[in-house]
């Protein structure tokens, strides 16, 4: 199963989310994982597995990674020939606090028809 771990975010729990994603990488060694980092400006980045270290995010090195754009049905990278869909699999929402736990990410993923693992919008809003 392909799993895209979504982590980071714009809340005060941003760093905890990064640590959670790094830990999950170690726990799910045998799974096919992708990593989608959301920075404090709510931009999405595709992070290489080798760069899943806390200092990579602390010093801003993540900004050298491929930026992702969300469109109906998938995350995409932008190139000279337009958007290229990324086959990342089911998204696992590890964003803590605002955006991740209040239903915003769930709404965004549902609106764009992207399968995800996390509480659904109604449960998150409540």
Of 88, 87, 92, residue with least CA distance to 117: 92
Q: What is the mean pLDDT of the chain?
A: 90
Cβ proximity of 95 and 18 under 8 Å: no
User: What mean pLDDT comes out for the span 68-96?
Assistant: 91
Tell me: pLDDT of 11 over 80: yes
Instruction: Give just the sign of the alpha carbon dihedral 104, 105, 106, 109.
Output: positive
What CA–CA distance (Å, rounded) separates 32 from 88?
9
User: What mean pLDDT comes out for the span 110-117?
Assistant: 92
Cβ proximity of 74 and 86 under 8 Å: yes
CA 105 from chain center: how many Å? 10
pLDDT digits (tens, 9 = 90+) for 83-110: 898 989 899 999 998 888 888 999 999 9
What CA–CA distance (Å, rounded) separates 36 from 47?
6
pLDDT tier, 3 (very low <50, low <70, confident <90, very high otherwise): very high
**pTM greater than the 0.85 cutoff:** yes
Residue 76's pLDDT is 93
Residue 77's pLDDT is 94
- The residues, ordered by sequence, that sit 6+ positions from 15 with a Cβ below 8 Å of its Cβ are 54
């Amino acid at each position: 199963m392909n799993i895209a771990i979504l982590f980071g975010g714009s809340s005060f729990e941003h760093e905890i989310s990064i640590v959670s994603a790094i830990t999950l990488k170690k726990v799910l060694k045998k799974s096919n994982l992708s990593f989608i980092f959301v920075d404090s400006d709510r931009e999405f980045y595709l992070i290489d597995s080798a760069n899943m270290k806390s200092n990579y995010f602390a010093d801003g090195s993540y900004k050298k990674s491929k930026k992702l754009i969300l469109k109906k049905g998938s995350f995409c990278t932008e190139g000279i020939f337009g958007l290229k869909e990324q086959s990342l699999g089911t998204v696992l929402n590890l964003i803590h606090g605002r955006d991740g736990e209040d239903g915003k990410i769930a709404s965004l993923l549902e609106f764009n028809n992207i399968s995800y693992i996390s509480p659904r919008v109604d449960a998150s809003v409540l």
